[in-house]
Structure 1
Amino acid sequence: MTMKNVVPLCLLAVAAGLWSCSGTQQTSAPKGKVSIIPMPASISEKADSFLLDKQTVIVATNESDKKTAALFNAWLKELTGYELSIADKGDKNAIILHTGNDTTNAEGYTLTVDHNGVTINGNSSSGTFYGVQSLIQLLPVEKARAMFIPGVSITDAPRFAYRGLHLDVSRHFFSVDFVKKYIDLLAMHKMNTFHWHLTDDQGWRIEIKKYPRLQEVSSKRKETMAGRYADNKYDGKPYGGYYTQQQVKEVVQYAADHFVTVIPEIEMPGHALAALAAFPNLGCTGGPYEVGTHWGVYDDVFCAGNDSVFLFLQNVLDEVIPLFPSKYIHIGGDECPKVRWEKCPKCQARMKQEGLKDEHALQSYFIQRMEKYLNSKGKQIIGWDEILEGGLAPNATVMSWRGIEGGITAAQQKHDVIMTPGEFCYFDHYQSKGPNEPLAIGGFLPVNKVYSYEPVPTELNSDEAKYIKGAQANLWSEYINNNDYMEYMVYPRASALSEVLWSPKDKRNYDNFIDRLKVHVKRLELKKVNYAKHVFEVTGKVTDNGKGGEQVVLDSKLDGGKIFFTTDSTAPTPQATPYTQPVQVSQSGTIRAQVFLDGKPFGNEFSQTFLYHKGIGKKVTLATAADKSHSPASTLTLVNGIEGNAAYNDNEWFGFKGGNMEAIVELDSIQDIHQVGINTINVKGDWIYPPKQVVFSVSEDGKTYKEVYKQTAFAQEGINKVRGKLQQVRGRFVKVQMQNFGKIPAGAAGAGNPAWLFADEFIIE
């Protein structure tokens, strides 16, 4: 700081608890801890600092920067109780915002802090805004009347142009105030796109003045599914809600003030049941229809052979387009069953008239026809990766959600791509294996896995990679029915994704991210965000102990935390065994561990039950790799002594979409085998079907196998444990073959799609 007002500043600092005055005037505070998320492209800390106080001014000369300054003041007031004056000029005790006109790297900025003040140079208004977001994260998280900002020099710009979060308001409706908070947090993490999923089978959420029945009928449902899909239970309570066009304008303007683009999604040709309930003539059968009350995919879709459908959608889009300045309109295109089209005379006539070979080509016709209309209005379309089927619309951008394959194909065809694979980007998946975790749709996606994501597939060459414009996380709200739960599912996973999308690939380091997150979550607390705290709980990882067996490595990122564990299934306490080295697995039983802070337990405990058997830790060969979205890191997961849970959210299950499963375990020697087994799942609502049959075979040489057990009935919902008792069987190689159910039958969730086959824990006794 300068020598201005030395005595008052010293007294102020004493009052704020920043330093003590003892006759020697200090000119800087100790260097503070910089914990910006996402990590800037380049940052260097200085042995210097700036003291922000009530006399500090913000210099902003254009209206956009003044709005950004006001957003900074709103944050500062929470910490200090006051706002800074915004002036047109000043160079001492000032935060200077300067905006240039660099359109080639518009979101870039530089930020310098020294004892004289703060200077932010944005390449454009958005760059200045992101510089201010970094400045906010340089502020202390503790409340005070004055505060030191650590000296830094930052040069920063994003790695990807598209950095997004999605929100499904159709399954469950969220208020305008919550949507604004969602956008505010999104912008705080330097994300720039809000994908607003406004229509679906379970509700139409945007006012269309030409069609008031969309508000009167389509925005409401008579009841809502309660619990998991497989439970088939309903709450009996009417549910509804929609946004008026004025509210939409309000949200879009709020987003623009935070340099966030809002992309609306109007689903077509599938996920249309809510609209059909109001206008049954737009369906293939003519109805009657009702707004969806359960989750999953419905057979009833817009009739592709009916010109009234296209007129309706064009009229809807004519009202949607003026509300959203975005160059993109998302038109869905996903999960569109063809069973109605196959039997619909109008659709079949359309196929004949247009020379379309099948219903996939008919969907392509539908999408391309709507794309031409939107292009004529100056808009471009984004669609889920199913729009690749039957031929991709000429100017379409593909959002790849069913793994990365759709994104690879689209990029190779020179189409822009937004990556959003379920394995890394579906935040409706479980994020903890803890017993108290609220209901989720399935899967397992902890923070560290989100952070590990690399959006550019290795299969693309450097020219093709340029078409990967970025990525986004998706929040589908089937089971997320309130604000707190939504925040719990989003953060801190969105914090991790923000760094994946903004920071240079070589700058990313998970341990360093966690260190910064320890400070960052205090900012989330200031924002009253109900974030999940799993990342600081005790975790356990099963690894090979190098001696033909397994061990459990425990860890916690909680500063000051101490881990205690038990191996006899009793609850761990500070009087239990302190963790100092990996815990060896040598028998069936349960290992439980807990991290304690100041003698009190923090978060969920780690608990893992092991079923000890001959196959544990042995070599496993899979004939066909599991689907990437349900594929544990190692085939040893199949013989690690851990039986996957019924929610399949523990990364233990191997999933095969439409394909069979075959695995061989090689034991150390030829030996007696008394029992063989494997677990599978039957959750038809989630498209997971039991196998048609399971066959076990045994061999002494790995070449000639003899069938020893076969099972063809799997009636139980949930986990089916296949067990075969054997007599006088010896061998070294044990094979299991599981036959996939095949295509999902008509009338069931996902009808016409290939069924999933799940398998875990190949047991050999």
Structure 2
Amino acid sequence: MMSSRIVQFSWLFFLLILVGCGEESKTTFSETDVKIIPRPSEIQFKEGAFRFTKDTKIVVANDQTDVTSVLLDKFSKAAAWDLEVVDTAPKNNFVQLSLDAAMEDEAYTLKVSEDKVVITAKGKVGFLYGLESVRQLLPVSIESNELVANVNWDIPTVEITDSPRFKWRGFMMDVSRHFFDKEYILATIDQLAFLKMNTLHLHLVDDQGWRIEIKKYPKLTEVGAFRVDQEDKHWDARFTPELGEKATYGGFYTQEDIKEIVAYATSKGINVVPEIELPAHVMSAIASYPELSCFQKPIMVPSGGVWPITEIYCPGKETTFEFLENVLTEVMELFPSQYIHVGGDEATKTNWKVCPDCKRRVKEEDLANVEELQSYFIRRMERFISSNGRTLIGWDEILEGGLAPGAAVMSWRGFKGGIEASEAGHDVVMTPTSHSYFDYYQGSREAEPMAWGGYLPLSKVYEFDPVVEGMTPEQAKHVLGGQANMWTEFMPDNAQAQYMTYPRLAAMAEAVWSTKANKDWVDFSQRVVSLFDRYDIMGINYAKSAYQVTTEVNVDEENGALSIALKNEFPEADIRYSLDGSDITVASKKYAKPFVVNKTTEIKAQVFKDGTPVGVLFEKTINYHKAVGKPVTYLNKYHDSYQGGKEIGMVNVVRGSMNFHDGQWQGWLGDHMALVIDMEAPTAIEKITVGTLENQGSGIYFPIQVEVMLSSDGKTFKNAGIVKRGFAANINSELKDFVVDLEKQSARYIKVIATNLSTPPTGGKAWMFIDEVIVE
């Protein structure tokens, strides 16, 4: 009897185990677990979860089977499942693609319940976007290319209604300055689709390389695709190659490569827009066929920066237009894009002014000047492109001299060109340098790899809105959308290109997809951290610049004490710091509020995530010198555009960075700096330091002399020391302290004069930037 009960109990226990295994509880989610980028238009969160298993079916009707690879490939690698695609839905445990012809082209709805997932869309693109959202709801380990153990592939039960705000959501890749192989382009297409971007703009032609095979003109790639290898030198310090010098650096896409890229992009819902530059940025073409220029002078493909760009196409010769029409005919056969980009920017028309053929063209066409000759050039190309059923688009310089009737404008020099074009009834893509140029620094220059210049952090990209305040509703209708541009002068390889692209591309994606009401930086900053985890698994070399600690300093004018706030781009970040130079660990003091500094202090700070340091270590020494907070009289005041800390800017201890837009620099344009510091009492002085910046590419030059004079009464000054430095060419951005050592003496008043270069070798007026006068 006892043994029978034991047997019954054993079977009961075994059955309970089986039942328990079959009814394993699903993951419990909260609303914060929905981390989709770009943020959907509407999200309704519900309790519960749907679990993918090896038996989950993908239900597809009609010809939509190819879009399912978004999920099938991921589960194949991360879970070793070959999910079955069927045309009839089972009772449960399935993902269904449901057609609705009444929906907009890129819209989708996603309804997740505990037994099924239903994506409804008009067609392939909507289904792709719905599936990408499902992918982002899954655990981040779905991105693994290797089998992942012990993961429940659960997603929260949500209902999403989603569609984009703008129809042009673009990313421009400059493959001319540095060539990126086909595989990298395909990988970039994957990332664009992941973020629901729909336009890849390929900058295929520039001075430094012609990247597309043209059958009719083989020299364009035989000659124009390669340059003399000077990759060991700064972009703007590369010498002009000698004729006949061996050119080995470069590459190009065959027409078969282009077909593959376009086909793959199309399968991912992405339109590829080709850019064939004209009339300037074409030295690679002229090196191949010198007869395309005004004076047919043989040249080499330049290895680096060229300015001004004078070797450009000659619009006086009919053969130039014959060449371009033949090239564009082959291009349009390869690219189905409605838009064909022709550049049109930065043409220096020096040669046009003296070229007999150009002068004859100006006269025959009754043009007023060479600006109208450029307009003639663009209008003529626009007629050819439109006669082939396509639309010409170009940089905003194509507005100069009058815009061709059917052309669209890509506004890069701010929003102004886009505003003007939309007023005239032309379509516009906004891509201003202020928000869209990914060749700009995204963090402190001291902590970042070399970039072109400017400052565009993640949060600034997120602020981008292609529709400018003050536009009329009619103008707003002409704004097709926005685009990020990745110019690659300083991006020689895939890793560097990724670093400059991600995660800023995610911020751009949300800026051009989500409605204004749905955009919130605090919310995005929480979701993008999850994206970082995905990038880690994907092996993407993304920038962690947004974690960099920065300071905000306020000076108490009465006592000279400094109030210092620590911050970074992420709200409520875990910042640990020290004020004695000690190393930072997770046990260091957590930053909570601004602290006061009234002596020389070595600050270190670091952001931590889950107890681990992220981003670069912040280190800064506050040199609390004798003149901090003392009255300053400007004998020659700073420029209104660069006022630094204004009246106390020279004695507020806050030093400027290599980003001259950081608000700490005072600038003088063509003028000298002259000021007097009142120490308020006789003070022992033995050294004066003047902090300066040079960035010759931006017109900023070191002073050529710093002079110090001392006085006891503020009226009679005597020379105390002088430091001179002659002009020297400098391709880098550089900080320099001019130190004037004095014999130790006492004075109340200190006059400091910094002499501006005034007129640089390039002409015009020189900027001189100064951030602090340090008295020791």
Provide TM-score, normalisation by structure 1: 0.83
SS in 1 for 2:166: coil
> Contact 1:682–1:719 (CA<8 Å) still a contact in 2?
no
Is 1:174–2:174 an aligned residue pair? no
CA distance 1:421–1:697, change in 2 (3 Å): farther
Q: 1:546 to 1:713 in 2, by over 3 A?
A: closer
- Partner residue, 1:83: 82
Aligned positions of 1:81-160 closer than 5 A:
81-91=80-90, 92-102=92-102, 105-142=104-141, 143=148, 146-160=152-166
For the Cα contact (< 8 Å) 1:299–1:338, is it kept in 2? yes
CA distance in 2, matches of 1:351, 1:234: 32
Q: 1:719 to 1:434 in 2, by over 3 A?
A: closer
User: How has the CA–CA distance of structure 1 residues 484 and 655 changed in structure 2, closer, same or farther, with 3 Å as cutoff?
Assistant: farther
Higher mean displacement: 81-90 or 321-330: 81-90
AA matched with 2:83: L
Determine the C-alpha separation between the residues in 2 that align with 1:44 and 1:141.
22
Q: In the superposition, relative to structure 1, how do residues 671 and 231 fare at CA in structure 2: closer, same or farther (>3 Å)?
A: farther
Compare 557-566 and 366-375 and name the one that shifted more.
Answer: 557-566
> Is the CA contact (8 Å cut-off) linking 1:45 and 1:152 kept in structure 2?
yes
For the aligned residue pairs, the C-alpha RMSD in angstroms reads: 4.2
* Corresponding residue of 2:540: 529
Q: Which residue of 2 aligns with 1:61?
A: 61
Q: Are the equivalent residues in 1 in contact too, given 2:52–2:154 (CA < 8 A)?
A: yes
Cα distance in structure 1, aligned partners of 2:628 and 2:371:
45
Q: Post-superposition shift, 1:221? A: 0.7
Aligned residue for 1:205? Answer: 211
1:295–1:359 distance in 2 versus 1, CA, 3 Å: same
Measured in 2, the distance between the counterparts of 1:689 and 1:307 equals 43
| Separation in structure 1 between the aligned mates of residue 425 and residue 666 of structure 2, nearest angstrom | 31
Distance 1:77 1:48 in 2: 25
Q: 1:712 to 1:193 in 2, by over 3 A?
A: farther
**Alignment partner of 2:195 out of 189, 197, 210:** 189
Match for residue 320 of structure 2? 309
Contact residue 201 and residue 273 of structure 2 kept, 8 A:
yes
CA contact (8 A) 1:443 1:651 kept: no
Matched residue SS, 2:486 = coil
Offset at 1:677?
A: 5.5
* 8 Å CA contact 1:381, 1:395 repeated in 2: yes
2:727 is paired with a residue of what secondary structure?
Answer: coil
Matched, 1:276 2:282: no
Structure 1: which amino acid aligns with 2:366? Answer: G
Higher mean Cα deviation, 53-62 or 590-599? 590-599
Helix, strand or coil at the partner of 2:223: helix
Paired position in structure 1 for 2:71: 72
Q: Is the 8 A contact 2:209 2:227 kept in 1?
A: yes
Contact 1:687/1:744, CA 8 A, preserved across alignment:
no
2:251 paired with 1:241: yes
Letter in 2 for 1:566: S
Q: Say if 1:127 and 1:596 are closer, same or farther in 2 by CA, change over 3 A.
A: closer
Q: Check whether the contact 2:649–2:666 (CA below 8 A) recurs between aligned residues.
A: no
Instruction: Read off the aligned partner of 1:45 and give its amino acid letter.
Output: F
- 1:676 to partner: Cα distance: 9.7
2-structure distance, mates of 1:574, 1:58 = 46
Secondary structure of the 1:226 match is coil
TM-score w.r.t. the length of structure 2 is 0.82
Asked if residue 551 in structure 1 is aligned to residue 563 in structure 2, the reply is: yes
Q: What is the match of residue 550 of structure 2?
A: 540
> 1:612·1:641 contact (CA, 8 Å) conserved in 2?
yes
Decide whether the 8 Å contact of 1:643 with 1:652 is kept in 2. Answer: no
Alpha-carbon separation, structure 1, partners of 2:656 and 2:556? 24
The CA distance in 2 between the partners of 1:27 and 1:500, in whole Å, is 38
Query: How far apart in 2 are the matches of 1:710 and 1:474?
Result: 46
Letter of the 2:116 partner, please give it: G
Distance 2:399 2:572 in 1: 51
Amino acid at match of 2:61: T
Alignment pair present for 1:382 and 2:409: no
Alignment of 1:512-523 (within 5 A): 512-523=523-534
1:26 CA displacement: 6.1
How far residue 672 of structure 1 moved from its aligned partner, in angstroms, is: 9.6
AA partner of residue 136 (structure 2):
Q
Q: 1:110 to 1:741 in 2, by over 3 A?
A: farther
1:584 equivalent in structure 2: 596
Q: Helix, strand or coil for the counterpart of 1:606?
A: strand
Sort the Cα spacing of 1:257 and 1:741 in 2 relative to 1 into closer, same or farther, 3 A. farther
Note the alpha carbon deviations across 1:446-494, whole angstroms, 9 max, x for none: 2122112232222423332222221111111111111111111111110
Deviation at 1:557, TM superposition (A): 8.0
Counterpart secondary structure, 1:126? helix
CA–CA distance in structure 2, aligned partners of residues 429 and 57 of structure 1: 46
Q: CA, structure 1 residues 737+294, in 2 after alignment: closer, same or farther (shift >3 Å)?
A: same
Please, which runs of 5 or more residues in structure 1 have no aligned partner?
1-10, 15-19, 699-705, 746-753
Kept in 2: contact 1:43–1:153 (CA 8 A): yes
Q: In 2, distance between residues paired with 1:237 and 1:540?
A: 44
The 3-state SS of whatever aligns with 2:319 is helix
1:488 is aligned to 499
The one-letter amino acid of 2:155's match is I
Q: Deviation of residue 393 (structure 1)?
A: 2.1
- CA gap of 1:37–1:638, structure 2 versus 1, over 3 A, is farther
Report deviation, 1:367: 1.2
The answer to whether residue 480 in structure 2 is matched with residue 469 in structure 1 is yes
Q: 1:580 to 1:743 in 2, by over 3 A?
A: same
Task: Give me the whole-angstrom Cα distance separating, in 1, the residues matched to 2:506 and 2:185.
Answer: 18
Which residue is equivalent to 2:522? Answer: 511
Aligned to 1:41: 41
Instruction: Check 1:37–1:671 CA distance in 2 against 1; reply closer, same or farther (3 A cut).
Output: farther
- Displacement of 1:138 in angstroms is 1.0
Matched, 1:369 2:369: no
Instruction: Report if aligned partners of 1:553, 1:581 keep a CA contact under 8 Å in 2.
Output: yes
State the one-letter code of the partner of 1:162. Answer: W
**3-state SS of the aligned residue for 2:393?**
strand
Post-superposition Cα deviations, 1:545-581, rounded to whole Å, max 9, x if no partner, equal 7777643322468999854323355543457554343
User: What do the CA deviations read for 1:326-375 (whole angstroms, capped 9, x no partner)?
Assistant: 11011011111122222322222222222222222221111111111111
The AA in structure 2 aligned to 1:220 is F
Deviations 1:198-255 (A, max 9, x none): 0111110000000011121111112234343454479997202110111101100000
1:717-747 C-alpha deviation (Å, 9 max, x unpaired):
3456678999989799x999979758946xx
Separation in structure 2 between the aligned mates of residue 622 and residue 327 of structure 1, nearest angstrom: 50
- 1:365-387 CA-partner distances (Å, limit 9, x unpaired): 11111111111111111111111
Shift in Å at residue 599 of structure 1? 6.5
Deviations 1:578-619, CA, capped at 9 Å, x for gaps: 434323343455422123567754331112344557576999
Structure of higher CA gyration radius: 2
Mapping for residues 267-416 of structure 1, pairs under 5 Å: 267-297=277-307, 298-416=309-427
Deviation at 1:167, TM superposition (A): 0.6
Q: 3-state DSSP class of the match of 1:164? A: strand
The answer to whether residue 510 in structure 2 is matched with residue 499 in structure 1 is yes
Q: What secondary structure, in the 3-state scheme, does the structure 2 residue paired with 1:428 have?
A: coil
1:408 to partner: Cα distance: 2.1
Contact 1:622 1:635 in 2 (8 A): no
SS of corresponding position for 2:200: strand
Match of 1:30 in 2: 28
> Equivalent residue for 1:595?
607
**Percent identity among equivalent residues?**
34
Moved more, 437-446 or 242-251: 437-446
How far off is 1:760 after superposition? 4.7
> 1:761 aligned to 2:765?
no
Q: What one-letter code is carried by the residue in structure 2 that aligns with 1:247?
A: D
Paired letter, 2:166: F
Q: Deviations over 1:148-202 (max 9, x none)?
A: 2110011111111111111111111111111000011011001000000101111
- SS of equivalent to 1:603: strand
CA distance, structure 1, for counterparts of residue 385 and residue 617 of structure 2: 52
**What is the rounded CA distance, in whole Å, between the counterparts of 1:662 and 1:133 in structure 2?**
58
